[in-house]
Amino acid sequence: MALTKQEVHKIAYLARLKIDESDVPQYARQLSDILDFVAQMDAVDTAGVEPLAHPLDATQRLRPDEVTETNQRERFQAIAPQVENGLYLVPRVIE
């Protein structure tokens, strides 16, 4: 399983990770090694086996649709990089 440079760039884009061009070959190599390693699982037949999402086969607990939290926006925004009027600031999105 040899990942190409383009595939590495695509994965980095999906993960929103900036990677240096000079690191791409090493990523390709290491990711390919890991994917080869995990391919050992192909040797076992899992037809008819249900995936185990939760180790104790539990399902997601539900609760009544009632408000239980208090608004602590100021407290949580005190540690934000840039806020204004209760909004988080980011570079312009819409031209």
Partner 1 sequence: MHRKTLIELRDGLQRGDFSSVELTEHFLHRIDTRDRELNAFITVTGELALAAAREADRRRAAGQAGPLTGLPIAHKDIFCTDGVRTSCASRMLDNFIAPYDATVVERFKTAGAVMLGKTNMDEFAMGSSNETSFYGPVRNPWDRERVPGGSSGGSAAAVAARLAPAATGTDTGGSIRQPAALCGVTGLKPTYGRVSRWGMIAFASSLDQGGPIAQSAADCALLLGAMAGFDERDSTSMDHPVDDYLAALERPLDGLRIGLARPFFGEGLDTGVERRVREALAVYEGLGATLVDIDLPHVHLSVPAYYVVAPAECSSNLSRYDGVRFGYRCQDPQDLLDLYTRSRGEAFGEEVKRRIMVGTYALSAGYYDAYYLKAQKVRRLIRDDFLRAFEQVDVLMGPTTPTPAFRLGEKAADPIGMYLSDIYTIAVNLAGLPALSIPAGQVDGLPVGLQIIGNHWDEARLLNVAHRFQQETDWHRAIPADYA
Q: How far is CA 58 from CA 24, 34, 53, 55, in A?
A: 40, 30, 9, 8
- Considering the rule CB under 8 A, would residue 65 count as an interface residue with partner 1? no
Contacts of 36 (CB under 8 A, 6+ apart): 1
Q: How many whole angstroms separate alpha carbon 55 and alpha carbon 91?
A: 42
91 binds partner 1 (CB under 8 A): yes
Q: Are 5 and 19 in contact (CB under 8 A)?
A: no
Instruction: Kindly tell me which residue out of 64, 66, 71, 78 binds partner 1, with binding defined by CB under 8 A.
Output: 78
For position 67 contacting partner 1 by CB under 8 A, the verdict is: no
Is residue 61 at the binding interface for partner 1, with CB under 8 A as the rule? yes
Give me the least distance between CB of 29 and partner 1, in Å please: 11
Q: Side chain identity at 68, as an amino acid letter?
A: T
Question: Using CB under 8 A as the criterion, which residues of the chain lie in contact with partner 1 when the complex forms?
Answer: 7-8, 11-19, 27, 30-31, 33-35, 37-42, 44, 46, 49-56, 58, 60-61, 72, 75-82, 88, 90-93
